[in-house]
């Protein structure tokens, strides 16, 4: 089969389209014939092996899995011996390891039937970003109707879903994005938009009940100043930080500080699970959540797609299509 392969950590120049062996699903796995694959910062982290601490899991000297890709949508080709909930021919979406390929293995527990009415491209734009936004806005961070929510990094993959979900829950949403992103963020349901190049998140008249932080590596005291005295902050991500830890130390500091202050300071590590995919599927099928695809690239142009991601400013998701 054809796949995007990388033999060492590094830049997008190392991504090559090659013929490789088709993967064989384990007992609890499904072999998916990939039709589309989502592309986000997680792929950049797998590609570069950054932050360096992640190599303890990804492979110390080179990627354990040389085939790139994380999210996928496609048709079930075969199922492992213990898989009873999918059959060949089912259209599915979810976390497919090595999805920049004609076929990829996926844990059955991290897959669900594709939302009816969505294209494979739209379905591939949902899993990691949609589940992350869904989990970020759960528990104490789920806003009550009328509460004020700030989504930092509102025009990107996670942010576009966070804005939609917070608005769906009845919150008054303010989205933070760069110049040119305001119309897109408003279209996702934000009532207000802050341009991070000209305005400060603490500049407005009020404090937010929930802050979802996807970008910018703002120091904790700045985020806390934007938050209501009893509000909830969820640190989701943000590029930059040190070579060894990236932005991870900020999340750790938030968790350590949280018991000592009135605000609830959380760090999210999202988990791929079917129940959340099913919740997203239900919302998508009922027209309550859309999967915005900024641009698609054919498999052979994956390196170009990663360069687009690195330069920044995709509105919603970039998606790789597999013929």
Q: Identify the residue among 24, 244, 257, 269 touching ligand NAP (CB under 6 A).
A: 269
Closest to ligand NAP by CB, 126 or 177 = 177
Q: Identify the residue among 63, 69, 94, 181 touching ligand NAP (CB under 6 A).
A: 181
Contacting ligand NAP within 37-56 (CB under 6 A): 40-42
Minimum CB–partner distance for residue 36 and ligand NAP (Å): 16
Minimum CB–partner distance for residue 153 and ligand NAP (Å): 3
Which residue stretch of 59-67, 118-126, 150-158, 253-261 sits at the interface with ligand NAP (rule: CB under 6 A)? 150-158
Contacting ligand NAP within 196-255 (CB under 6 A): 196, 214-216, 236-239
Please enumerate in sequence order all residues whose Cβ is within 8 A of that of 73, keeping only pairs 6 or more positions apart, or say none.
34, 35, 36, 37, 91, 92, 93, 114, 120, 121, 123, 124
Q: Does 178 bind ligand NAP (CB under 6 A)?
A: yes
Closest to ligand NAP by CB, 55 or 313 = 313
Q: How far apart are CA 307 and CA 29, in angstroms?
A: 31
Closest to ligand NAP by CB, 78 or 248 = 248
Minimum CB–partner distance for residue 22 and ligand NAP (Å): 28
Q: Does 262 bind ligand NAP (CB under 6 A)?
A: no
- Strand intervals (E) in the chain: 2-5, 16-19, 29-39, 71-79, 91-95, 103-107, 111-113, 148-152, 172-177, 192-195, 208-213, 227-235, 264-267, 293-298, 317-321
Minimum CB–partner distance for residue 299 and ligand NAP (Å): 20
Q: Identify the residue among 119, 132, 296, 302 touching ligand NAP (CB under 6 A).
A: 132
Sheet containing 264-267: order of strands:
192-195, 172-177, 148-152, 208-213, 227-235, 264-267
Closest to ligand NAP by CB, 92 or 128 = 128
Structure tokens at 207: 């404090």
Q: Identify the residue among 99, 119, 263, 270 touching ligand NAP (CB under 6 A).
A: 270
Q: Does 137 bind ligand NAP (CB under 6 A)?
A: no
Q: Does 302 bind ligand NAP (CB under 6 A)?
A: no
Q: Identify the residue among 78, 176, 193, 322 touching ligand NAP (CB under 6 A).
A: 176
Closest-by-Cβ residue to ligand NAP is 156
Q: How far apart are CA 212 and CA 86, in angstroms?
A: 35
Asked if residues 100 and 4 have their Cβ atoms less than 8 Å apart, the reply is: yes
Minimum CB–partner distance for residue 184 and ligand NAP (Å): 9
Q: Identify the residue among 6, 99, 129, 188 touching ligand NAP (CB under 6 A).
A: 129
- CA pseudo-torsion sign 312, 313, 317, 320: negative
Q: Identify the residue among 39, 113, 141, 177 touching ligand NAP (CB under 6 A).
A: 177
Longest dimension (CA), the chain: 59
Q: Does 128 bind ligand NAP (CB under 6 A)?
A: yes
- CA pseudo-torsion sign 318, 36, 10, 129: positive
Q: Identify the residue among 23, 74, 98, 153 touching ligand NAP (CB under 6 A).
A: 153
16 has which bridge partners?
5
Asked if residues 170 and 137 have their Cβ atoms less than 8 Å apart, the reply is: no
Overall residue count recorded for the chain in this entry:
323
CA atoms within 13 A on the CB side of 230: 3
- Contact positions toward ligand NAP, by CB under 6 A? 40-42, 128-129, 132, 152-159, 176-178, 181, 196, 214-216, 236-239, 268-270, 312-314
């Amino acid at each position: 089969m054809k796949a995007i392969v990388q033999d060492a950590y590094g830049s997008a120049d190392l991504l090559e389209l090659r013929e490789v062996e088709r993967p064989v699903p384990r007992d609890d796995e499904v072999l998916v014939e990939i039709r589309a694959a989502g592309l986000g910062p997680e792929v950049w982290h797998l590609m570069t092996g950054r932050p360096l601490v992640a190599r303890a899991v990804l492979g110390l000297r080179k990627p354990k899995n040389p085939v790139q890709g994380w999210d996928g949508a496609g048709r079930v080709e075969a199922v492992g011996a213990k898989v009873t909930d999918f059959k060949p021919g089912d259209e599915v979406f979810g976390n497919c390891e090595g999805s920049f390929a004609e076929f990829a293995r996926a844990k059955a527990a991290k897959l669900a039937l594709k939302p009816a009415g969505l294209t494979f491209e739209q379905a591939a734009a949902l899993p990691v970003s949609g589940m992350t936004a869904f989990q970020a806005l759960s528990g104490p961070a789920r806003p009550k109707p009328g509460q004020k929510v700030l989504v930092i990094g509102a025009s990107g993959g996670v942010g576009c879903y966070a804005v939609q979900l917070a608005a769906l829950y009845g919150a008054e949403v303010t989205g933070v994005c760069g110049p040119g992103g305001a119309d897109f963020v408003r279209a996702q349901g934000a009532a207000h938009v802050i341009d991070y190049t000209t305005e400060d998140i603490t500049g407005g008249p009020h404090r937010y009940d929930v802050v979802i932080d996807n970008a910018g590596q703002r120091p904790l005291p700045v985020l806390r100043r934007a938050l209501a005295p009893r509000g909830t902050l969820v640190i989701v991500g943000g590029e930059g930080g040190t070579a060894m830890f990236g932005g991870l130390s900020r999340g750790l500091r938030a968790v350590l500080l949280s018991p000592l202050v009135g605000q609830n300071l959380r760090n999210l590590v999202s988990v791929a699970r079917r129940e959340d995919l099913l919740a997203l599927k239900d919302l998508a099928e009922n027209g309550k959540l859309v999967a915005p695809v900024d641009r698609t690239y054919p498999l052979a142009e994956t390196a170009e797609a990663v360069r687009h991601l690195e330069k920044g400013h995709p509105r919603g998701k970039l998606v790789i299509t597999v013929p």
